[in-house]
Structure 1
Amino acid sequence: MKITNYTILLVTFLLSSTVLIAQNNVSGLVTSEEGIPLSGATILNTSTNDAVVADFDGNYTISASSGDVVSYSYVGYESQEVKIGSNFSIDIQLVSSTELDEVVVLGFEKKTRSEITAAVSTINTQELTNLNTSTSISNMLQGKAAGVQVVATNGKPGSGAYVRIRGIGSITAGSAPLFIIDGVQAPGTQNLNPFDIESVSVLKDAASSAIYGSRAANGVIIITTKRGKKNKRATVEFTSRFGYTSQTEEHGFRMMTSSEKLQYERELGLLGYVPAQAQLGYTSSLNEYNRLAAINFNWKDALLRDGEVVTNQISVTGGEENFQYYLSVSEDRNEGIIDQVTGFQRQSARLNVDYQAKDWLNIGVNVSVADTKSDEPRDRYNLQSPIYAAYTTLPYETEYVRDNNGDLVLDENGQKQYNFVGFGWSITEALANNPEFEGNTTLLANINLESTITDKLTNTTNFGINNQKFRREYYYKPGSRLDDFVGDANAPGGKTDNGSFFTDYNISNVLKYKNSIGDHNFSVSGLFEFNKISSRTYSLESIGFASGDLSVQSVAAEATDASTDLFERTLLSYGGFLDYNFDGKYLFTSSLRYDQASVFGKENRGGTFWSTSAAWNIAREDFMQGLPFDDLKLRASAGVSGNQAGIGYYESLAVIGFGSFNSQSTAAPTDNGNPKLKFEENYTYDIGLEFTMFNDRLRGAIDYYKKVTSDLLLDRPLLSLGGEPDGSILSNVGEMVNKGVEIELDYDVLRSDDLYVNVSATFGTVDNEVTKLVPSASYPEGAEIDWGSGVYIKPGEEYATFKLVRWAGVNPANGQPLWYDKDGNITATYSTDDEVYLSGKSPLADMDGGLNLFASYKGFDLSADFYGKAGGYSISYNTRDILDPANISDNMAVEAFNYWKRPGDVNVQPSAQYTDASETSTRYLYKTDYIRLRNLNFGYTIPSSIVESSGLENVRVYLTGQNLWTYAPHYVGLDPEVGVGVGESSDGEFGTFSIFGIPILKSLQFGIDIKF
């Protein structure tokens, strides 16, 4: 027994000695090509899966044996692998990934930047995560890509944005781009976690987007999410942020205090203005006047707040040779600025898996689930809106009932009593007793099968689904003030439930042959794709609830309305693509795609869309040697894409509507339909120049484009009604042109051991003109279309051009408002007959751009992103309301005091005795030019020598702010970035007007990122 134990001990010692002799410590320094130490670089022994990180000075030590493979990696740099031999002192210089040929995702394939012959912009995804993550991805794109204009819908947390690539693509069929997330079509990005994003590509011309056929007329934004890497140990990343959001500063006005409002009422009353003589400022005794003046209640402080913003995100990623994974879970909460509500919440989870099932088969699976909730109150132009109430409620009125000494008057239960002011309304009571809720659950999933048939022939099949469940609930409790106004006394309380179930299925298959013969490189691909969209909607209304705490429809006394609808559309597509290049110098691509859409009649159901493009890599020519160009590429493209996104599902069919009459079911024609409908078509032409210079310090691209949209889908008048409610039928008529210039620049100002400074900028212009509309005998090029809220569409003018009576100021002799008639003569009579087109003035900006600054010094980093736009106009009805004496029963702006008082007064408001001064005209039409500090981020990465003892790889702490400063020299109103005027009154083109909608918000957050 002793001999056996001794033998075992001896064998163990010998084996241990062998291991000790075989293992060594490999050490060295990890730097950039410029010699800058890469603190936090990961060094992985792929043979043992042991890993360490470089210290603050870039030094490292790792155990390894001869024959082991050690991998060196760092964010923003290309990884390197070294096989250990007899040398155990290894210094590594990593090459910046920006110096390598960037890989860009282009629809059904990936290409290096040098291989691309089309206009494609890529976006730095790290810059997106610096922003408030409860903001949608669409909003985050502002200023990040030339030619992409983004206007936030409003400041409601979680709301989306209007995104336009190279102008307005259609009048009725939609101008929003196509969003593709991991190969699956998505209607938007509100439910996408920004931390999951790996890359964003913007396809802007026909050559890049025509592969998507009739879905790509307005450009394509392709988003790919993160994936695991081969032979990488598991890495956990955790992010937590906490901060506050608040309203951005108002522009050009200040609301009155109690004493100012009372004084204004008295002044106008004394001038004989009858409405003012009914106000307390005129009718009160001196004591009552002084008591009211002392109240000075701040309604903005009562109804609005600094809302909490919280983000927590954790992800795990890693992989082996045949299996890679990425898993993330996140939560975002943004209370918003409206008090008494929870605000916006989003929970999301994602799992991306890649599995090499066979040598010839790779399987990729992406699954994401997101759930959003919001209980924001109504966004409308009346007393139900907290924003409206915050500005217009009188400052000498209080939120709750108070006595003459200013003390609260409690009810019999000791509770505060709502003060029903004005028309007998309390916004505080409405927020408590008229709750509203919106929710959205999204499942986005796809399976991707990549088969290698031969070394030259591959096949890729993708199955994708986008499933969304939207729900909205609105409840006015029994006994609430709204119930008193609109409810049924015999069945108090009312509830509305509506929602939809949306499903988008997509199946695609791409067969690709790729080969090289000498310097000739080419590939040929074939595509099959099928897409089906199904939407079910429901609406339920009921009245009569026993308690304000019970709001489910089943307990209601009476159901007053119920309806459901089903809509379906399909798209079947075939395509072929050709790529060719000679020695990487001369490149040519071509695509052809045929789409069949169910929304059109049988005769015109199909559409053929094509593109062709060519590029010349000039820098690879011998005559370019010795010049400062690292790359120089000239490219040109042309092509046609289609559009059918925004039209109704059954516009080509005669539709019968069902109802009831005399307790009997009825059926009647409601729409004649047009079986000759076909796709709108966009003809796009582009020429561009891409370059890198001075050892990759300066990178840029310049493009000129022209996009002609023909066969616009517009309502054409019918000779007889024929059952058509508005006497018209949707037809393919009309034409529109967009053209412009785009510039993108990226410059490394300083590259030293300790200091790195980078400046990048984007700039784009859009020149839009409507050239044809529905022709008639009187108007061969088409008559104007009233688009609502003072904007029209007319041949020869920009889309949505303002047509208004022109304001001429105030008569200095008597304070009377003046206008110009249609002939340009000054008149004191307002008439809509004097409306004229204001050429060049529309809600759409003519140009926009971004300026992005980044600097790092040792462990410190600072970034600032600016965004600006110019050339747009908007009517500020907010300003009209707070200046117009007709609204004297509401609070008003101090600037209203500047009214005409005596002959000779100039630059003043009209005299109060004239009641037509605020008729819709150019008086309140303002330029919406602005420059905004979109994002400011300051951070510090703690040296790895400090954190590695805790088992951590990297720790960064930072402060980030969004929308902290805005310069708008011409605008008067809440905020110059106008999306919808107000959420429930959004007629006309976006940006046309503002009426106390939720303004853009600013935020400030502290964050910490931990990697281990």
Structure 2
Amino acid sequence: MKSTVCEISCWRRKYIFFFLMMISALHSVTVFAQKRTISGTVVDERNEPLIGATIVAEGKSGMTITNVDGKFTLAVPDKAKTIEVSYLGYASQTISIKGKSVFAIRMSENDVQMDEVVVIGYGTAKRGNVTGAIAKVDAAKLEDRPAPNLASSLQGQLAGVEVRSTNGAPGSELQIRVRGAASINADATPLYVVDGIPIDDLGSINPNDIQSIEVLKDASSSAIYGSRGANGVVLITTKMANKDDKVRVQFSAAFSIQQLEKKIDVLSPEEWITFRTAYNNSRYLAALGGKGATADDDWDTRYALNGNRVNYEYMNDPRWTQPGYGGLRLIDWQDEFYRLAPMQNYQLSVSNGRGNTQYRLSLGYIDQQGIAIESAYKRLNLRANVETKLYDRITLGVNMAPSMDWKDGGRVDGKDQQANQVLTMCPVAEPDAGIYSGAEPYASYLWSSTKISPIAYMEQVTNHIETARLNSSAFIRVNIIDGLRAEVKGAYDFTSRQTRTFTPSSVIKNWTDGEGYHSSANRIDIRSSKYLLQAVLNYDKKLGKHNIAAMAGYSMESSSGATTNLSAQQFPDNSLEVFNQSDEAIKVALATLSTPNRLLSYFGRAQYEYDNRYLLTASIRRDGSSRFGKNNRWGMFPAVSAAYRISNEKFWPEKFVVNQMKIRGSWGMNGNNSISTNAAIGLMGSSNYSIGGSLTNGFAPSSIDNKELGWEKTHSWNVGLDLGFFDNRITLAADYYDKTTKDLLYQVSVPGTMGFTQAWGNIGSIKNKGFEIELTTQNLTGRFKWTTSLNIAYNKNKVLSLGEDNSTVFIGWDKSNTQVLMVGQPLRAYYMYDAVGVYQYKEDLRKYPTMSNSIQGDVRYRDVNDDGKINDQDRTLVGKPDPDYTFGMTNTFKYKDFDLSVLLTGQTGGMIYSLLGRGMDRPGMGASINVLSRWKNMWVSEEQPGDGKTPGINNSNTGSLYDTRWLYSTDFIKIKNVTLGYRIPIKNKKIINYARVYISGENLLMWDKYEGGYSPEVNNDGKNSDYDYGSYPQARTITLGVNVAF
């Protein structure tokens, strides 16, 4: 650690020296070449202004975008001869600017993606000059689809970019994965970079502030980010005022109604009464049939036969057969728990591009009530992007983005939480208790479990999370000479999160023990901060047919955090939630300071283009991370790529069907350092030890030191083909990739004699390979326009090695060993008994292999090794969690001022294990809870054999086993979004320049076969998508909105 501190100190001095040298050069750079100003308007074929068209001066010496009126102003060098104008979906134009300063530019609709400007690591490039695999979503697509968070806006938009929800709770984060999982234990989340600054998550980013999103998918594109690029890189550019644009005010408002996307099919109250009657009769006859018991026996008879004792598993409630069920309360808990929930979203921005200072200020506010009662989320976003020119060649900039968010509501998702309780809660209650059954002062229904009403829980439990964030950065950019630019950037991020919970004893099973006796409270305060200092030098030069670009830079990042955890219990009563530091009720008061994290980097890239035909790019990055052992902290990450624009050759026919063709190839290496900051450090923890018969407090080693712990390294190669047909009315981008991750970071088992059970190490390797296709077609281009965008991705992963002996590693939820890491098999493959039916008849017990204690009505399993018996040796590979194929398709229609977009998403080839379903209906669970509706087809007897899939209600021989009855396909096709908009014609634009109203629907319809949970898209596992133990379900949302510009 001492050496790391020295390294940091040395590098900090270098940064300061470089920064001061640049300051001292400011006055000297103003004597170089002069500039002049040009302006103009960019419109479409209907003379409607194109908002956000890109204008780039020759040699990248200046760039701007058009405003809401389609106007632009740009300062260009006197020597510049041309400008290039581009807009997504329109043919790019190169326009001579000799002798002119004002331009009227009309764009023709023609999707020339190869000339579109895209953001790459530490720079920009034309799409046609990109040699790697980069996908882009621009602001227009984000604005046309309202979404409460940024990640959800990306669903279905990009090939090879999988966006999934871990739960549907308000304010929840989504999981993004690029080209499969590149790790088995470390984090597989891509690196997020906003305006050149890495950030940890997208939760604080306002979608309304986004100008464009680029995803670097292959190693040649992302290797410039070195140690954090193995999982892909998401580059986000925020909006900025256009040069010389007058003051603009934009406002949008949206109001939404949300509802449960689908209900899970469980027994209705009437069906549960029938089910419970059959269960009681079965239990009663099994126990007392030898004493003459019959299913028709009344209460008194059953009471007498059972030795004058009440057993609610033998005795039926007399009210079940009475008219109106004797006043019992019949409850559909899903209807009671989930609600129609409103959501409001307001956005306001002010921008000004005139003068030497350009700025854009924005304010965003979202208020989302959750579909689960008492759950809610609010977020307030502010952003200020300001740039000012001190001199002709010097620009200073500041970006400030503070945000606050508030989450409320009891825990819904996870094991034994309320999404589970809603489904398993007995649907019958006493009349006085109703929906508060089980909570103080109402006792549970005698034929149900002692579960607490989820309604009472949500209403009485306090769970409040408050988060404050500040993302800030400042830069100085100097155009030293034409083509040579230097930029120094500093950033500071701060996050403070406070979690407060209070659980009154009134919603604890043992509330009868006394007021406040089982109450508990908890408060967690987390603070984290991160600093970044970055210096980059860019050089661009055009020499005849040769274009050369080079970039070099280095950066230093430092982050740290502190956590304070305070908990207490047994409050005097259920109304007291305040901690009293002198109160003996304080159980734990714990403060921990996290290990600081440091990352030192220097990097470079060179690009060469000849005659717009031959393209070559090479990059390298060297990173040093404090997360790893002191002998292995530095890593080198090179990459190289090339492309050939064969369609620009002279021999290529001008009027050929294929008017654009580019072949791409790349290779690169990335790293992954997403592990605990103290993974390589031997730590000490508090411990007790008996000395002389007295218990003594002290410290003992709690983790093992590993000086050799190093990087995960992903080697990747990619070949691609970009095509344009019929003057680019049809464009196609196809990629094939193969990436291998070696030296996997994993917590390996170590001998117990060392005093530990696990330690971090580098073992094994995995492979991901697949292909991606992005197809865009302009089907109709007249007054009625129809465009289709289709993306399809295929990914297959495989474990290549697992250490020296390649031993299989058993993993799975809660040590269930239901998954394996096995050489030659997919990552996290499911491994369990394969259920193939039920022993419906006595003959089946002789006909099929059995367990030692199998009986009629038991689940029947496949005899994997054909030895004639079922035991642990018959567990087998039965599927994998990751889908083979994912796809998204967007159809966009435009007619006059109307626009309509329809987004379909889907996937096939993956599976999910429903622990929720297993917890509800495994054999032997009893009948005091509700179950899935398939139990209406259960085995009862040879005369009532059921559907051959659902076992008998009274058997328990296979109740504790994990098997494929709860393993479901995650295949689905979904109408993800439909948006209908109308642009209101405005003749006098002195006040209002633009107005659009729209109605949008999200999660409208899904076709799937998932019966064990709410959605195959939702899961409980944050890293992977493997298990569902009752997730907060997704909402179907209908939105009305308006966008106005002044």
Give the TM bin, normalised by the shorter chain: 0.7 to 0.9
Q: CA 1:604–1:97 in structure 2 vs 1: closer, same or farther (change >3 Å)?
A: farther
Inter-partner Cα distance in structure 2 for 1:577 and 1:445: 27
- The question of whether the paired residues in 2 share the 8 Å contact of 1:469 and 1:502 is answered with yes
- Could you give the per-residue CA deviations for residues 809-828 of structure 1, whole angstroms, max 9, x where no partner exists? 0123143321123314675x
Q: Partner residue of 1:17?
A: none
Inter-partner Cα distance in structure 1 for 2:236 and 2:932: 46
Q: CA 1:369–1:578 in structure 2 vs 1: closer, same or farther (change >3 Å)?
A: same
- The question of whether the paired residues in 1 share the 8 Å contact of 2:983 and 2:997 is answered with yes
1:243 aligns to 2:264 (yes or no): no
Inter-partner Cα distance in structure 2 for 1:681 and 1:672: 23
Q: CA deviation at 1:140?
A: 2.6
Q: Larger deviation: 913-922 or 581-590?
A: 913-922
2:614 pairs with 577, 582, 586, which one? 586
Secondary structure of 1:622's match?
A: coil
Paired amino acid for 2:214: S
Q: CA deviation at 1:704?
A: 0.4
Q: TM-score, normalised by structure 1?
A: 0.85
Q: CA 1:782–1:1010 in structure 2 vs 1: closer, same or farther (change >3 Å)?
A: same
Q: Partner residue of 1:1006?
A: 1040
Q: CA deviation at 1:642?
A: 1.1
1:170 aligns to 2:203 (yes or no): no
Inter-partner Cα distance in structure 1 for 2:715 and 2:451: 57
Paired amino acid for 1:940: Y
Inter-partner Cα distance in structure 1 for 2:93 and 2:537: 31
Q: CA 1:602–1:109 in structure 2 vs 1: closer, same or farther (change >3 Å)?
A: same
Paired amino acid for 1:709: T
Q: Larger deviation: 295-304 or 739-748?
A: 295-304
Inter-partner Cα distance in structure 1 for 2:917 and 2:153: 29
Inter-partner Cα distance in structure 2 for 1:576 and 1:817: 62
Inter-partner Cα distance in structure 2 for 1:147 and 1:936: 22
1:507 pairs with 512, 530, 533, which one? 533
1:852 pairs with 881, 890, 914, which one? 890
1:997 pairs with 1031, 1040, 1043, which one? 1031
Inter-partner Cα distance in structure 2 for 1:208 and 1:487: 63
1:529 aligns to 2:555 (yes or no): yes
2:741 pairs with 689, 696, 709, which one? 709
Q: Larger deviation: 733-742 or 628-637?
A: 628-637
- The question of whether the paired residues in 1 share the 8 Å contact of 2:519 and 2:571 is answered with yes
Q: Partner residue of 1:560?
A: 587
Inter-partner Cα distance in structure 1 for 2:69 and 2:146: 31
- The question of whether the paired residues in 2 share the 8 Å contact of 1:804 and 1:837 is answered with yes
Q: Partner residue of 1:784?
A: 809
Inter-partner Cα distance in structure 1 for 2:989 and 2:455: 53
Q: CA deviation at 1:556?
A: 7.1
Q: CA 1:716–1:31 in structure 2 vs 1: closer, same or farther (change >3 Å)?
A: closer
- The question of whether the paired residues in 1 share the 8 Å contact of 2:494 and 2:529 is answered with yes
1:601 pairs with 611, 614, 629, which one? 629
Inter-partner Cα distance in structure 2 for 1:280 and 1:892: 19
- The question of whether the paired residues in 2 share the 8 Å contact of 1:791 and 1:992 is answered with no
Q: CA 1:516–1:128 in structure 2 vs 1: closer, same or farther (change >3 Å)?
A: closer
2:236 pairs with 206, 223, 238, which one? 223
Q: CA 1:487–1:590 in structure 2 vs 1: closer, same or farther (change >3 Å)?
A: farther
Q: Larger deviation: 626-635 or 390-399?
A: 390-399
Q: Partner residue of 1:910?
A: 951
Paired amino acid for 1:742: E
Q: Partner residue of 2:790?
A: 761
Q: Pairwise mapping of residues 183-198 of structure 1 onto structure 2 (< 5 A)?
A: 183-198=196-211
Inter-partner Cα distance in structure 1 for 2:199 and 2:597: 15
Inter-partner Cα distance in structure 1 for 2:314 and 2:249: 65
- The question of whether the paired residues in 1 share the 8 Å contact of 2:279 and 2:313 is answered with no
The runs of 5 or more residues in structure 1 that have no matched partner are 1-27, 44-50, 59-71
Inter-partner Cα distance in structure 2 for 1:306 and 1:556: 45
Q: Pairwise mapping of residues 350-361 of structure 1 onto structure 2 (< 5 A)?
A: 350-361=383-394
Q: Larger deviation: 815-824 or 485-494?
A: 485-494
Q: CA deviation at 1:271?
A: 3.1
Q: CA deviation at 1:295?
A: 3.6
Paired amino acid for 1:712: L
Q: Larger deviation: 842-851 or 518-527?
A: 518-527
2:861 pairs with 807, 814, 819, which one? 819
Q: CA 1:820–1:95 in structure 2 vs 1: closer, same or farther (change >3 Å)?
A: same
Q: Pairwise mapping of residues 340-739 of structure 1 onto structure 2 (< 5 A)?
A: 340-341=374-375, 343-380=376-413, 385-397=417-429, 401=433, 420-421=444-445, 422-423=449-450, 425-477=452-504, 479-482=505-508, 484=510, 493-546=519-572, 548-554=574-580, 557-558=583-584, 559-566=586-593, 567-626=595-654, 627-645=656-674, 647-660=675-688, 664-719=696-751, 721-724=753-756, 726=757, 728-739=758-769
Q: CA 1:748–1:733 in structure 2 vs 1: closer, same or farther (change >3 Å)?
A: same
Q: CA deviation at 1:198?
A: 0.3
Paired amino acid for 1:730: W
- Could you give the per-residue CA deviations for residues 747-775 of structure 1, whole angstroms, max 9, x where no partner exists? 111111x2111100111111100011122
1:260 aligns to 2:271 (yes or no): yes
CA RMSD of aligned residues (A): 3.4
Q: CA 1:750–1:701 in structure 2 vs 1: closer, same or farther (change >3 Å)?
A: same
Q: CA deviation at 1:419?
A: 5.9
Q: CA 1:914–1:279 in structure 2 vs 1: closer, same or farther (change >3 Å)?
A: closer
Inter-partner Cα distance in structure 2 for 1:38 and 1:603: 62
Secondary structure of 1:175's match?
A: coil
Q: CA deviation at 1:91?
A: 7.9
Count of aligned pairs between the two proteins: 926
1:976 aligns to 2:1015 (yes or no): yes
- Could you give the per-residue CA deviations for residues 512-541 of structure 1, whole angstroms, max 9, x where no partner exists? 233233222212222111111212111011
Secondary structure of 2:280's match?
A: helix
Q: TM-score, normalised by structure 2?
A: 0.83
Q: CA deviation at 1:149?
A: 1.4
Q: Pairwise mapping of residues 3-152 of structure 1 onto structure 2 (< 5 A)?
A: 32=44, 35-38=45-48, 93-95=106-108, 98-99=111-112, 101-134=115-148, 136-152=149-165
1:898 pairs with 937, 943, 948, which one? 937
Q: CA deviation at 1:873?
A: 0.6
Inter-partner Cα distance in structure 2 for 1:399 and 1:329: 50
Q: Partner residue of 1:959?
A: 999
Secondary structure of 2:227's match?
A: helix
1:336 pairs with 370, 386, 390, which one? 370
Q: CA 1:111–1:399 in structure 2 vs 1: closer, same or farther (change >3 Å)?
A: farther
Paired amino acid for 1:698: I
Secondary structure of 2:777's match?
A: strand
- Could you give the per-residue CA deviations for residues 110-157 of structure 1, whole angstroms, max 9, x where no partner exists? 1111121111000143333444532x3223322211111122111111
Inter-partner Cα distance in structure 2 for 1:486 and 1:334: 36
Inter-partner Cα distance in structure 1 for 2:970 and 2:702: 41
Inter-partner Cα distance in structure 1 for 2:741 and 2:51: 51
Secondary structure of 1:895's match?
A: helix
Q: CA 1:633–1:922 in structure 2 vs 1: closer, same or farther (change >3 Å)?
A: same
Paired amino acid for 1:625: P
1:943 aligns to 2:985 (yes or no): yes
Identity fraction in percent: 26
Paired amino acid for 1:911: G
Secondary structure of 1:553's match?
A: coil
Inter-partner Cα distance in structure 2 for 1:75 and 1:205: 23
Secondary structure of 2:651's match?
A: helix
Inter-partner Cα distance in structure 2 for 1:743 and 1:797: 26
Q: CA 1:900–1:487 in structure 2 vs 1: closer, same or farther (change >3 Å)?
A: closer
Q: Partner residue of 1:866?
A: 904
Q: CA deviation at 1:914?
A: 1.8
Secondary structure of 2:226's match?
A: helix
Q: CA 1:300–1:756 in structure 2 vs 1: closer, same or farther (change >3 Å)?
A: same
Paired amino acid for 1:964: L
The runs of 5 or more residues in structure 2 that have no matched partner are 1-39, 54-65, 72-84, 288-294, 296-310, 842-855
Q: CA 1:231–1:76 in structure 2 vs 1: closer, same or farther (change >3 Å)?
A: farther
Paired amino acid for 2:379: R
Q: CA deviation at 1:208?
A: 0.6
